[in-house]
Amino acid sequence: MKQLEDKVAIITGGASGIGKAITELFVKAGANVVVADLNEKLGQQLVNTIGEGNVVFIKADASSVDDNRKIVETAIENFGALHIAVNNAGIGGAAAPVGEYDIANWKQVIDINLNGVFYGMHAQLPEIEKVGGSIINMASILGAVGFANSAAYSAAKHGVVGLTKSAAWEYGTKGVRINAVGPGFISTPLVDQAMDQQTQDYLAAQHAMQRLGKAEEVAELVLWLASDKSSFITGSYYPVDGGYLAK
């Protein structure tokens, strides 16, 4: 029997990068998956690549209360239940010192990276509580430390860790496990587009393993947290960072 056989999962930001890697691994593990993303083209490509049946795509904005409800409704309508949610959608945001940070950019980062996780959990928990399951919230290494010119991102990811721990206590006796994952700098198409090779080399050197991580390496941890193999794990924050936080 596969690890996630007959389980139903939601993955926000699931059409590319880490989300895509999680989607592909979940499907291999036997899950029925609802992929939510704003990028409809990439979402449909992913569904077509995997094959329709156990994957459904919905165009949705993680920072929207209504869209998060629609994502959950899509899971129930297509697969009859909800066991797993991966709140992965997020943005890097603008880079600037706190005193110069654009207020609109601050609000956007907080709304997607922190409020979006809360909105997702708010919609997901009543359904997951009915059958038992697991929620994995995507934080970051910057959910544990600061990073110059990334105050909004770091504040949001710290908030995700706190939200995760609080919710874990609330649902610890209700059959729902809630954990956070903290990736280091991960090699994705977005990173390749946003950073030149010199910048990527500098960031790689900040990790003990002297390289950037791979999306698939994050996905393996998420799979374990989603599965019954992590049955006594809740309220935890798991870095997958190549030793970045070991300094």
Is the model's pLDDT at 125 over the cut of 90?
Answer: yes
Considering the candidates 101, 119, 153, 238, report the single residue annotated as catalytic: 153
CA torsion 18-20-25-30 (nearest 10°) is 140
Domains of the chain: 8-184+214-237 (3.40.50.720)
Rounded to whole angstroms, the Cα distance separating 24 from 37 reads 15
Q: What is the pLDDT of residues 187-238, one digit of tens each?
A: 987 677 778 899 899 999 999 999 999 999 999 999 999 999 999 999 999 9
pLDDT of residue 31: 97
- pLDDT of the residue at 30: 95
> Angle, nearest 10°, between helix axes 116-131 and 151-171?
20
| Cα gap 125→17, rounded to integer Å | 25
By the 8 A CB rule, do 28 and 105 touch?
A: no
Task: Give tens-digit pLDDT for 43-88.
Answer: 999 999 987 669 999 999 999 999 999 999 999 999 999 999 999 9
Active site residue 244: no
pLDDT exceeds cutoff 80 at 163: yes
Q: What pTM did the predictor assign? A: 0.96
